[in-house]
Chains A and B, each alone.
Chain A
Amino acid sequence: MIPELGHFALALAVALALAQSLCALLGAARADARWMASGAALAYGHTIAVGSAFAALIWSAVTDDFSVQNVVENSHSLKPLLYKITGVWGNHEGSIVLWCLMLALCGAAVAGFGRSLPSILRARVIGILGLNAAGFLLFTLLTSNPLLRVWPTPLDGRDMNPLLQDPGLAFHPPLLYAGYVGFAVPFAFAVAALIEGCVDAAWGRWVRPWALASWSLLTGGIALGSWWAYYELGWGGYWFWDPVENASLLPWLTGTALLHSAIVVEKREALKTWTVLLAIATFSLSLSGTFLVRSGILNSVHSFASDPTRGIFILVLLLAVIGGSLILFAWRAPALGSTGLFAPVSREGALVLNNIFICSIAVVVFTGTLYPLFAELVFGAKLSVGAPFFNATVLPLAAPVLLAMVVGQILPWKRAALGPALLRLWWAALIAAAVGLSVALGLRALLPALGFAGAAWLIFGSFGEIIERIRLFRIPLATSCARLKGLPLAVWAATIAHAGMGITVAGIVGMSLAREKIVAISPGEAVTLAAYDWRLDGLRDGAGSNFRERIADISVWRDGALVVRLTPARRSFTTQRMETTETSIHTTGFADLYSVLGEERDGKAILRLHYNFLAPWIWIGALIMSLGGFLSVADRRLRVGAPARRPAQSVPAA
């Protein structure tokens, strides 16, 4: 009964989403307040309907209803409750419903939080979101309905891929999807602006919080995914330039560019068409990421759910959404003139530089990701583009951005001089040089020294804007403190996010110094790695509710003192006939002691031991970046709305 109700709710959601879109768009075209208001109300109804369908799916999974196909294929009665719930979005059908729920929530959020928007713009945004949602809901209902029954009813399910039975991956897809789908809102704003033929400072201000929130969620989602790959796959790496990872990185890159170019629209009314294009591109890349992963075109360790026949539907949907918006762009965007002029060296100039480099990185990653497909299609050659390509191409493009972002932050708008700005950062340069020099002397290696110097420059230099603004040491300290209190949250947000980036960079550079050892030792033996003695104390068997495992007890010693006991394991999942490795990691905050248990032969166990220097900083930095983004959303100025269009808001209230 519950699955049928969910099925009905899903069908209802399609109708409500279509109605939401029609009412809102037609209402906006006729400037009819009642139609527009019903569009907003329908956005809530549509959200409730999708939410009910999703809840029905969760209910079926939790109660082990093996008459539902999706539950049979992805669940098992012995699976722990948490994974019964998270398993709902660990497969294609469920994840698309989650996607739809997020999109519906975006529409509801615009309806709920967007009351200060001009009613026509708000209605158009809601309408475009509704149209998108209707497309995706139709896709779910017609090709990937998770609530279909199966007959005869099997006794038990087939269980989920054991790699996915992990807390990290339980929360990674919802966060990532929230980020992906969140960019639908800037996209809808861009399309609405194209329909209206008007992009102004107010538009820039309205788009930014949505872009910021989505970006923060996406940052968190990518970081969580990378962390999962780090500890669950047990390869010791954190980023593999895997097509699916790249698919999430691309919208992140263009989203980052969008955040920054929207500032220029807001403050200076320049870069309008570019920002609109970025908003369209970011959501398009989110959609294509889903398309490429879900259709299985990109081969990857990640794409656990793929099916070519659905690909056709997604492709058509994709071409309709992206094509429609780009046709609108080609038609309307040439009319969006730029008004704000600025010198090449200025805050705007720095943001343009940021956009050029970040988008270049996006183009490089895009090319590298799709080149194997291109080669297959054109030359019929099987090849793969791996980490060496990406490292060699992304690094030279990322380095200038990282160096320049510190300077850009303290440049004034319109016109600036580079020399004085650089001079004002002498102290950050000094710290960076000191860090670089000490690393160079300590390690006798040039690249890590440069890397750490860059990271230090970024971490400390990010505070340059705050120091400039409070005029530290140039006016009395008390006045500086008073100024510090008055600083807008957005300034803090930018500083924190930039410093977070610096911490991530430090982590990445640190990981390049990581050391690993693969050894075959018997219980009682010990090996030395990175000043630690790793002793294998013993091997034992264990069992969980749906797996059996073999556990190694390792004690790690330093200078005769016990540091930690590690227990890496090898699990074999009975239902799926699959083995996974469970890493055991101890973090000191500055380094990870990382251990993996391999096969056993002749009484010897094969252990892979890593000493990952600064590894945790990668994700701590990402978390800080994400936090910075949210902090910026919380800035009062973004909630108040721009004064320019203020009078328009009283219309719907009447």
Chain B
Amino acid sequence: MNPISRRLMFLGPLGLLAVGGGAGALLLHRMADGSFDPRGVPSVLIDKPAPKFSLAPQAGHPGFDGAALVTAGTPVLINFFASWCLPCIAEAPQLLALQKRGLQIWGVAYKDREESTARFLAQHGNPFSRIARDAEGNAALEFGVYGVPETYLIDKTGIVRWRWVGALSDNVIARALDPLLAKYA
């Protein structure tokens, strides 16, 4: 082996590292803006009609069922939440901001006591125009919810367009949700 190719061979590990480092940086960048989520598995419901379910309403609020999603006539954000969930508190300001922009947000109170839900809404604000109570977690099963909070975008024809696991952040709303809202408005 001539000396130059011998030298080049010793550069091999460094090249491998450069590729790995670049890929790592790209992944981290995409994790930060929400386009790569190591925990997420795409929902099988995407581009399919929202599942059928019927739930009792939260006292003092209008409720909804699966059929209402089709007849709503506007895009709807379905948000699974619970009073006992800390990330739900964290995303409350984002949801309120979305509501101010005129988006329909319907809440599903997941495995929660009615009075706890009421207290949660009083304390952290109510971004929801309708609230259904999923005490048994049946609707969550239909949707394939991992845990709360989890958010789905249903377009005006009742088709599921997007799912987000975990708390919504401004970054996620700007990068992922807003383009979809523009598309399906």
Interface positions of A (Cβ within 8 A of B): 273, 277, 280-281, 284, 288, 291, 295-299, 308-309, 311-312, 315, 318-319, 322-323, 326-327, 329-330, 333-334, 373-374, 376-377, 382, 577
Per DSSP, chain B at the interface is helix
Partner of B21, one of A308, A311, A315, A333: A315
For B17-31 the 0/1 string (1 means CB < 8 A from A) is 110110111111001
Nearest A-chain residue to B14, judged by Cβ:
A326
B18 / chain A contacts, CB cutoff of 8 Å: 323
Known: A308-B31, A311-B31, A376-B36. A327 touches B25 (CB 8 A): no
Partner of B32, one of A291, A309, A315: A309
For B25-61 the 0/1 string (1 means CB < 8 A from A) is 1111001100010111110000000000000000000
Tally of A-B Cβ pairs under 8 angstroms? 71
B21–A323 contact, CB under 8 A? Answer: yes
A312 / chain B contacts, CB cutoff of 8 Å: 25, 28
Interface positions of B (Cβ within 8 A of A): 3, 6-7, 10-11, 13-14, 17-18, 20-21, 23-28, 31-32, 36, 38-42, 84
Nearest A-chain residue to B39, judged by Cβ:
A299
A377 / chain B contacts, CB cutoff of 8 Å: 23, 26-27
Nearest CB of B to A549, in Å:
21
A311–B10 contact, CB under 8 A? Answer: no
Report the separation of the CA atoms of residues A608 and B23 in the bound assembly, to the nearest whole angstrom.
42
Nearest CB of A to B65, in Å:
28
Report the separation of the CA atoms of residues A311 and B24 in the bound assembly, to the nearest whole angstrom.
9
A-B residue pairs, 6 tightest by C-beta: A299-B38, A308-B31, A326-B14, A311-B28, A330-B10, A330-B11
Partner of B24, one of A291, A323, A334: A291
Of B3, B21, B28, chain A has the most CB atoms within 10 Å of the CB of: B28
Report the separation of the CA atoms of residues A329 and B3 in the bound assembly, to the nearest whole angstrom.
15
A334–B21 contact, CB under 8 A? Answer: no
Of A277, A323, A330, chain B has the most CB atoms within 10 Å of the CB of: A330
B41 / chain A contacts, CB cutoff of 8 Å: 382
Known: A297-B31, A299-B38, A322-B17. A315 touches B24 (CB 8 A): yes
A295–B28 contact, CB under 8 A? Answer: yes
Report the separation of the CA atoms of residues A429 and B124 in the bound assembly, to the nearest whole angstrom.
73
A333 / chain B contacts, CB cutoff of 8 Å: 10
B10–A329 contact, CB under 8 A? Answer: yes
Nearest CB of A to B139, in Å:
20
Of B13, B20, B23, chain A has the most CB atoms within 10 Å of the CB of: B13
A299 / chain B contacts, CB cutoff of 8 Å: 38-39
B13–A277 contact, CB under 8 A? Answer: yes
A334–B28 contact, CB under 8 A? Answer: no
A330–B14 contact, CB under 8 A? Answer: yes
B7 / chain A contacts, CB cutoff of 8 Å: 330, 334
A373 / chain B contacts, CB cutoff of 8 Å: 23, 27
Report the separation of the CA atoms of residues A577 and B36 in the bound assembly, to the nearest whole angstrom.
28
Report the separation of the CA atoms of residues A281 and B12 in the bound assembly, to the nearest whole angstrom.
13
